[in-house]
Amino acid sequence: MPPKSIDNAFTARSNLGASGDPTYAGALSFMRRRYTKNINGADVVVWGVPFDAAVTNRPGARFGPQAIRRASAIFDNDPQYPFQRQFFDDLNVVDYGDCLFDNGYHAKTPAIIERDAAKLIKNGAFLLTLGGDHFVTWPILKAHAAKYGPLSLVQFDAHQDTWPDDGKRIDHGSFVCRAVRDGVIDPATSIQVGIRTHAPEDFGIEIIHGEDLEELRVSEIVARIEQRTAGRKTYVTFDIDCLDPAFAPGTGTPVAGGPSSAKILSVLRRLGGLDIVGADIVEVSPPYDHADITAIAGSTVAQHYVGLAAERKARG
């Protein structure tokens, strides 16, 4: 246990090391990391995109980054389960704060998100984005593809998000269609996990449906993801509605019949063999949450991303 302190997000002199903030107090950055716009040397940059103007059902995901940061306070100080390590002894993680855009000009928002994402990954930092609705993944994917080339996509979701798109829509249900059409992702090496709805197109992306998850072991799910992505550079996007509403009620388009948080977190824990270049957690909608159930699930997904990054750095 580090010495007691307060407001590590502002008072920390280094990006390394655990904070000593009480769990119930202090500035609520993600996992108490230092708030800073200086990302030089950062291994992981945490960034919020509080945008939810693209939802087709219940709004509120604009409050997702705040809720995820608040829920992440529970992870402070202790060695991180199930990784059995203190991430911040060696992993340089900063909280960059949130993306700024004008809510009166939604047509300009995608370019702003893409521009800022490109800046954050320019020097090789791993970008962990807290959404926001699922539309925000589209410009972030574009920024990553511009740097790394066409990506494999691993999408945890109840929805395929492949609805028709003319390239101008601001819609959280069509970003995969656009990403395939524009060559941002490679459908032949992409996979969707937890799908429990139908869409007009699958574009050749492999699907593990929600009902199949109940029959598959965690090791089998991981094997299918690894086989599909085939060592390619991969972006992981996690829509919290992948989980059954029992485990994530606070989301815009909940769908019954999904997996438990325990099962999907076990899958995430075992994705260290993938070449993951960026990741997000989206669609956490606090107005429909209860007792921070969904925010805790979302922050744990984000914590697992950081854990995988810590292991990757330790392996060199």
| pLDDT tens, residue by residue, 253-271 | 999 999 999 999 999 999 9
Q: What is the pTM of this model?
A: 0.96
Number of domains the chain is built from:
1
Q: How confident is the model at residue 2 (pLDDT cuts 50, 70, 90)?
A: low
Stretch among 42-46, 78-82, 149-153 having the lowest mean pLDDT: 78-82
Q: Does residue 92 sit within a domain?
A: yes
The answer to whether position 260 is within a domain reads yes
Domain with 210 in it: 8-315
Q: Which residues are annotated as a binding site?
A: 134, 157, 159, 161, 239, 241
For the segment 170-186, the average pLDDT, to the nearest whole number, is 94
The answer to the question of residue 42 being in a domain is yes
CA dist., res. 177 & res. 52, Å (int): 19
Residue type, 47: W
What count of other Cβ atoms lies within 10 Å of the Cβ of residue 193? 24
Is residue 3 included in any domain, yes or no?
Answer: no
Collect all residues with Cβ–Cβ distance below 8 Å to 67 and sequence separation of at least 6: 250, 284, 286, 289, 292, 294, 295, 298
Task: Let me know if residue 150 belongs to a domain.
Answer: yes
Q: Which residues are annotated as a binding site for Mn(2+)?
A: 134, 157, 159, 161, 239, 241
Which tens digits make up the pLDDT trace of 224-243? Answer: 999 999 999 999 999 999 99
Alpha helices in 60-108 (DSSP H): 64-71
Asked if residue 36 has pLDDT above 80, the reply is yes
The model's pLDDT over 104-128, given as tens digits with 9 standing for 90+, comes to 999 999 999 999 999 999 999 999 9
Q: Give pLDDT, residue 182.
A: 96
User: Is the pLDDT assigned to residue 199 strictly greater than 60?
Assistant: yes
Q: Is residue 127 part of a domain?
A: yes
2 domain-assigned: no
Largest CA distance in the chain: 56
Mean pLDDT, range 130-140, rounded to an integer: 97
Tokens standing for residue 194: 């937890």
pLDDT given for residue 312 in this prediction: 95
**Alpha carbon distance 180, 108 (integer Å):** 22
Work out the pLDDT band at 79, boundaries 50, 70, 90: confident
What pLDDT was estimated at residue 164? 87
- The candidate with the shortest Cα–Cα distance to 229, out of 187, 182, 280, 181, is 187
The CATH number that applies at residue 94 is: 3.40.800.10
- Report pLDDT for 3: 55
* 1 domain-assigned: no
Q: What is the pLDDT of residue 239?
A: 98
